[in-house]
Amino acid sequence: MIRFQQNARPRNDTPSHLFAVGQRVRMKSRVGLVQKTAELFEITSRLPVKDGSPQYRIRNEMETHERVTTEDNLEAADNPAV
């Protein structure tokens, strides 16, 4: 038998986006990849959650294309470079 709690708050398992459209971000450095910590990207749009992490469309002004990445690959540009 399933019991429901009265006045229970709805469950929200979907994580919210940390970064805003227009915000400057940096890709986190990864071992084995060329480090481009000085390369800044701008959030151009928020995308749905993938595998528990919010996604973003980002763009670097020096590139002619946009990228799609998850939030766990990004850090705010005001953080010091690693």
pLDDT band for position 15 (cuts 50, 70, 90): confident
Spatial distance between the Cα atoms of 76 and 82, rounded to a whole number of angstroms? 12
pLDDT higher than threshold 70 for residue 51: yes
SS3 63: coil
Given pLDDT bands bounded at 50, 70 and 90, which one contains residue 68?
very high
4: amino acid identity, one letter: F
Model-level pTM?
Answer: 0.69
Q: Is 71 exposed, middle or buried (0-12, 13-18, 19+ CB in 10 A)?
A: buried
